[in-house]
Amino acid sequence: MVVPKRFRSYVLHALIGAIGGFLIFHPYTMVIHAVTGRMHGDFSVKSLLSAAKESLSPEMWLMASAFALSCAWIGILTAAVSERKRRLYEAELDSERQRTAIATLQRLMITLSHYLLNANTVIGGMARRAKKHTTDGQADEFLDLIIKEATRIDEVIATLKRITEFRTADYTSEGRDLMIDIADDLEKALAQRRDKGDMPEG
C-alpha cells in the first residue's frame, strides 16, 4: 500500500513533535521548575541534572505523555501550514506558467495571422468568386468545401487568439499527445458564421 506523500508529512511532523515533547520540552519544564523552586535555596548543576533525570523516570511518563501529545498536535498544525504554503506556491507557479504559455501562444498567433490569414483570405476569396461563375454542380460542391475549410482556418486562429486559459484534450488512442482544447469555442464561432451566411452549411 502506497502512503500519500502529504499523509507521510503529517505523520513525520507528529512523530517529531511527540519525541520533542517527551525528550526535550518535558525535561526542560522540569528543570525550569527546579530552578524556580530553588532560586532562593540550594541551587547547583547537580540539582538540575537530577531534575532532568527525574523527568524521564517511569513515574513521570504520564505527564511526559501530555507534553508529547501537545507537541504532536503542534507538529500536525505545522505540517498543515507547510502543506498550505506548498499548495499556494504550486498554484502560483502553475498560474505563472499559464501566463507565460498564453503570452507565447498569442505571439505565435500574431505571426500565423500575418502569414496564414493573408493566404487564407485569398483562397477563400478566389473560391467565392469562382463559385459565382460556375454552373458545374460538382465544382460547386468542391468550392463550398474549400470555402468551408478556409472559414474553419480563420476561426481556429481567431479562437486561439482569444484563449485566456489552457484546456487540453487527448486526440490520440495512446493517451500521450495532448492538444489545446478549443472544440467547443470553435463550434460556437462556426455556428455564428453559418447563421450569418458566411459559411456553407454541412
Give the residue-averaged pLDDT of 9-34. 81
Q: Which residue has the higher pLDDT, 123 or 197?
A: 123
The tens digit of pLDDT for each residue in 66-84 reads 888 988 998 889 888 988 9
The tens digit of pLDDT for each residue in 174-192 reads 555 566 777 777 778 778 7
Residue 29: closest CA among 58, 44, 50, 51: 51
DSSP symbol at 60: G
What is d(CA 200, CA 40) in angstroms, rounded to the nearest whole number?
101
5, 68 Cβ separation under 8 angstroms: no
179, 148 Cβ separation under 8 angstroms: no
The per-residue pLDDT for 39 is 46
What is d(CA 154, CA 100) in angstroms, rounded to the nearest whole number?
24
* Res. 1: pLDDT tops 60: no
DSSP symbol at 35: H
pTM, full prediction = 0.45
* Res. 134: pLDDT tops 70: yes
Q: Which residue has the higher pLDDT, 73 or 25?
A: 73
For 196, residues 6+ apart whose C-beta sits below 8 A from its C-beta are: none
In the chain, domain spans: 5-93, 96-196
